[in-house]
Structure 1
């Protein structure tokens, strides 16, 4: 066997080991998420997950009819998982996008005759299966800012429920004045009013 052949076999062996390590890291991460985040991942492509897009209607504390369209994203996409698996080093927390296996992010749009409210979402599931939700925080977009003279969504209270194609949330609001500041009055029940909204899955 020539020296060049030995070198070729050596590098092929290194490449094979590198690929095996990558595959191992990728699938260890994936199967961990299948077990720990069943609300976000499934081997069944048709599984009904909390992850997805949801839509519903509600009347805000001023009795304005609004439509909410909410998207909850996967904690880690396949592309992100592949990128992390290909790294030579990794954080102690592992390949997961967060050490907190109950956390999720997303976006929401609330539309009405007065305009469009754009939000980023940050929340948690309370139970491992994800059917009961903890508080979901609605953060207004930095680009557009809160809609003026409007009851903007502040959060969804603890106790939201998800089952198959149905999602139920109870919303709390912050009123934004014409100057962009918040306003509340204990003498007016509108400012402490909570609204329950029923959303259904939007199928892609």
Structure 2
């Protein structure tokens, strides 16, 4: 049995089932977010993140020119992100996902998901702060719950699931440290992921 385990704060994600996030309108939801909501690698307001995570893509250089959308070739995707994320990464695969066989490439704080040779999803978890990785609106691990509505374009839905306090909005899904106003983001993902529920 192949297993893939993701650690996000105190939560443990284990391969058992596969869930997909509808990101068809995600670009529209985040395109108008002001740059002032973004932070750079040192946490300064108004900066530009090193790596941007959209609801249907990753921008490893933080620019539109570097955008890698879901559906891109898996080998090409890894080749383009390694100069930023690092040449050393861990690869695993599993045949137990509901969407079919999947492969995973993981760095310290980000995991890319692949299916049938295509890039299909990502997950952000706690880890190194270099490079800074987050959404165009500045959401990353540790971001306050209060920032989600402005950054995602609308207030996300929040509910208690087997994973914990889960939120959905703007094509993104994630976990909060608690169901309280002062909660922070502990995990964030988009696309097709294998997560036990």
Q: Which TM-score bucket, shorter chain as reference?
A: under 0.3
Give the greater-gyration-radius structure (CA): 1
Normalised TM-score (structure 2) = 0.23
Higher helix proportion (structure 1 or 2): 1
